[in-house]
Amino acid sequence: MTSITPVPPMSRHILLTAEAAEFVRISVPHWRRLYRSGEAPAPIRLGARKYAWRVADLIAWIDQRGAPNSAA
């Protein structure tokens, strides 16, 4: 018998552009610059001009970027 590890419920949520920007604590214009330049996780396209991001992808992106350098 195999066991399936459940996916945490929050990680399956998706956030729209403004919500994603707020989640990562930056302005919406800066968030748009980051994802358009490929520096942020790739969005899920919901429509012609509507994008969303998986919470799990945002958390992984935040973890990858690491904490800001406190020595500065």
Average pLDDT score, the chain = 85
Q: What is the largest CA-CA distance in the chain?
A: 53
Q: Does 60 reside within a domain? A: yes
Q: Does 58 reside within a domain? A: yes
Q: Does 5 reside within a domain? A: no
Q: Does 33 reside within a domain? A: yes
The CATH number for 61's domain is 1.10.10
Decide: residue 2, CB within 10 A, 0-12 exposed, 13-18 middle, 19+ buried: exposed
Residue 29 phi, psi dihedral angles, 5° rounding: -60, -40
Q: What is the tens place of the pLDDT at every residue in 4-36?
A: 545 555 667 999 999 999 999 999 999 999 999
Query: Where in the sequence is the domain holding 60, given as residue range(s)?
Result: 11-65
pTM: 0.73
